[in-house]
Amino acid sequence: MGELGRAVPDLEIVRSAFGCGDALARTIADLARSSAHQRGAQLWPLGDRDETTLLTQGQAQEVAYGREGAMLVLLPLGPGDFYGNLAGAGDGDAQVEANSDGAGAHFGSGTVVRLMESYSCVAVAITRHLSLRLITMRRRMVEAAMLSATGRVAAELLRRAGRDPDRVIRPMPVFAELAITVQSTRETVSRTVSQWEKRGLVLRIEGGLQIVAPHRLEELVY
């Protein structure tokens, strides 16, 4: 499963991701090859394409696989995040997989670098994005080494709900995927969330999971 066809980039996402105004956002969007993709699709690498992609819709994750098939989630990705050959740096041995149906705006080799050279706002935005990637990956390393499974689940749910004013995670987390993200088992994640439901800390709502008592989950992190 791969690309589904063309999709128009969301100018608000482009403007926010590149730190630019409306006019430049339209110019940047015109430089992109846009497409939709299905959940489960491998988004990067793809053959000989040397692209930088801005995720405009949906959720994805950057992962690494061991020789025996073990998977490590390196970085969650959402609308406004980049993947691929970002700023000419490449992504090493990692690959990107779609967690949901979505869409991306794909920029050819060198396009983002030329935009950084031409527009200071773009250079600042990309630098901030790279810095955030480092901070996020460092935080995950600390959590994996120092937190219990319960603490890792709490931290991940709080992180996913953090962008929503009502603390709602949509779509509803898939426990098997959540378990891989926090390096635990599906049974442990399911049991933990069920216990929190009974205690009124989280609530299943239509299409998602609401964090009812974020301060209580924060207490469970450490």
Q: What is the mean pLDDT of the chain?
A: 89
Does 140 share its domain with 154?
A: no
pLDDT of residue 145: 87
CATH number at residue 44: 2.60.120.10
- If asked whether residues 67 and 168 sit together in one domain, one would say no
Final residue belonging to a domain, choices 114, 145, 176: 145
Compute the distance between CA of residue 152 and CA of residue 110 in angstroms, rounded to an integer: 38
Residue 9: the pLDDT is 74
> Of 111, 145, 179, which residue constitutes the final position of a domain?
145
Domain identity same for 215 and 177 = yes
What's phi and psi for 175, nearest 5 deg? -60, -35
Give the DSSP H/E element, type plus range, for residue 133: helix 120-146
35-69 confidence digits (pLDDT tens): 999 999 999 998 777 899 999 999 899 998 887 77
- Reported as a single tens digit per residue, the pLDDT across 180-189 is 889 899 999 9
Same domain, 38 and 48: yes
- Answer yes or no: is pLDDT of 194 > 90: yes
pTM over 0.85: no
- Residue 210 belongs to domain spanning: 147-221
Mean pLDDT value of segment 20-45 = 94
Q: Kindly tell me if the per-residue pLDDT of 1 is higher than 50.
A: no
Per-residue pLDDT tens digits for 106-133: 999 789 999 999 999 999 999 999 999 8
Residues 10 and 51 in one domain: yes
The CATH number assigned to the domain holding 154 equals 1.10.10.10
Contacts of 174 (CB under 8 A, 6+ apart): none
* 15 & 112 share domain: yes
